[in-house]
Structure 1
Amino acid sequence: MLADELAIIAHRGECSEAPENSLASVKEALAGACTAIEIDVQLTQDGIPVLFHDRDCQRMFHPPMSGAIADYHWEQLQNLELEEHERLPGVRAPFTQLSDVVTLLINRPDVTLFIEVKRAALERFSYAKVHEQISLAIRPIQLQCVLISFSLPFLSFARSHNGHRLGVVLGEWDWLERPEIGAISPEYIFCNLKRLPEGFLFNTGSPTWVVYEVDTPELAARLFSQGLRQCESFSPRQLKAAIAGKGAN
């Protein structure tokens, strides 16, 4: 059945309950029985891996801040709060280090953590620096982690420097024709729903395909019929409940 065979990845955590990319959103995803969670990671100016998606600090911080994450030291950020003004106005959560998520998952070996390494970080720091800092932070749960990115050069660097599992996030559909992807040999390919050709049939072997953003049981059922076995949702708990309620096969 669809409810049993389609794995739903919590996109930036459970974002219907807590601000995205916060420890609270990760905890909510775990409380909703998610065993796969995706987060975005950048580095502070002093090289601390933190959870954050945007190139600037305007949307997520309360109050809004100027500049980018890499413009600030951890000491300047550690007591600040995140708030999604459109999705969850008034709901706030502390800014989060990657190491906090690692500590949370040490006793959850059943959970896979997908870490999207943001291009904003790769434009400010060397690939070696970003890779080293993230690798150090996730060492206690390395076997549970998958590094994913839009940056094919970074993924090529990561493949040649460590044993991390890797995932390519497609910037465009024709990226699949790029020889770099074959050289990377990713374990996962992530694709935006909007870039997916109508009726595309997914392979059921390696690499594993993941489609984002899937938000209805009807869409989930259609993609499942085309061979998809993993998808991402900002509201995985609600999607799971809707699929179970429809008794989708």
Structure 2
Amino acid sequence: MRAENFVAHRGWRQHYPENTLIAFAKAIEAGAVNIELDIQLSADQVPFVFHDANLMRMCQRKGLIWEYTAAELDTFSAAESYRLGAAFQDNPMCRLSDIVALLQAQPKINAYVEIKEESLTHFGEQIVVDAIINTLRPVASQCILISFELNALHLALHEGWQRFGAVFDAWPDWQSAALTELKPEVVFCDRNCVPNSADFTAVPWPILIYEVGTKAEAEDWFARGAVAVESFLIGELLKEFSLNTV
């Protein structure tokens, strides 16, 4: 195994607030070369690295992320205190532009950037896709757009974006025209949606399994033919496979 076979799911989430700069930086320090992050838009259509539409779980704030401007969100703390207590009470929310700066400083790191359905529904595909790809252009070669919403990825494809991955929480139709046109570099599959009889060698694109938490489970998926696994415990997994750098 190599570090390339592992993806840091929302950063090193086990120990740090998910989808924040510290979580990604610590994952990279631990040896991760692939990070995965989620995007929602602010009221003024600035991309933020954020999974939920609702702010309560991460920021203990009422309302939805697109009800606040980027300047307002910059004042919020993304502490994830329900899970992590007061350890990160001053930890800021992360803009996508912060990830661009991180990737520019770390040219060997790849980022899987997930376009979230909630913002697509609220703003429309064009606004969301344009906001994301225009922000990512300085590091386009390091970024793979992913989404459950293949229509959004097709829009990015038609606007010239070149790197894609699809995400599924149900075993997909591998012959679908939507996947064939997209030509994904990898397909993310929920571990719970993979049939016991599934033959990974018969699938036309590489499969990445999420969410994996133990070495034994990862080894099982690799033995079945998965090219990579995604984990909240990225540092722990890399250490178990003797791939960590800290």
In the superposition, the TM-score normalised over structure 2's length comes to: 0.91
How does 1:73-222 map onto structure 2 within 5 Å?
73-92=69-88, 93-203=91-201, 207-222=205-220
Task: State the 1:86 CA deviation.
Answer: 4.3
Supply the distance in 1 between the matched residues of 2:128 and 2:23 (Cα, whole angstroms).
24
Aligned length: 241
- CA contact 2:174–2:204 (8 Å) conserved in 1: no
1:176-201 deviation line (CA, Å, top 9, x unaligned): 35332222222221011111112533
- CA contact 1:45–1:74 (8 Å) conserved in 2: yes
1:5-28 deviation line (CA, Å, top 9, x unaligned): 761100000112310000110110
Task: State the 1:122 CA deviation.
Answer: 0.3
Match of 1:187, as an amino acid? E
Bigger CA drift: 70-79 or 141-150? 70-79
- CA contact 1:45–1:73 (8 Å) conserved in 2: yes
- Other structure's SS at 1:168 match: strand
Supply the distance in 1 between the matched residues of 2:44 and 2:96 (Cα, whole angstroms).
14
Supply the distance in 1 between the matched residues of 2:193 and 2:96 (Cα, whole angstroms).
29
Q: Which runs of 5+ in 2 are unaligned?
A: none
Task: State the 1:202 CA deviation.
Answer: 2.3
- CA contact 2:4–2:33 (8 Å) conserved in 1: no
Cα distance, 1:200–1:206 mapped onto 2, change above 3 Å: closer
Task: State the 1:81 CA deviation.
Answer: 0.7
Match of 1:141, as an amino acid? V
Runs of 4+ deviating beyond 4 Å: none
1:138-190 deviation line (CA, Å, top 9, x unaligned): 11111000000010111121121113311111132144353322222222210
How high is the sequence identity, in percent, across the aligned residues?
31
CA RMSD of aligned residues (A): 2.0
Task: State the 1:244 CA deviation.
Answer: 3.3
Partner of 2:41: 43
- Other structure's SS at 2:199 match: coil
Q: Which runs of 5+ in 1 are unaligned?
A: none
Supply the distance in 2 between the matched residues of 1:150 and 1:223 (Cα, whole angstroms).
21
- Other structure's SS at 1:65 match: coil
Cα distance, 1:17–1:159 mapped onto 2, change above 3 Å: same
In the superposition, the TM-score normalised over structure 1's length comes to: 0.90
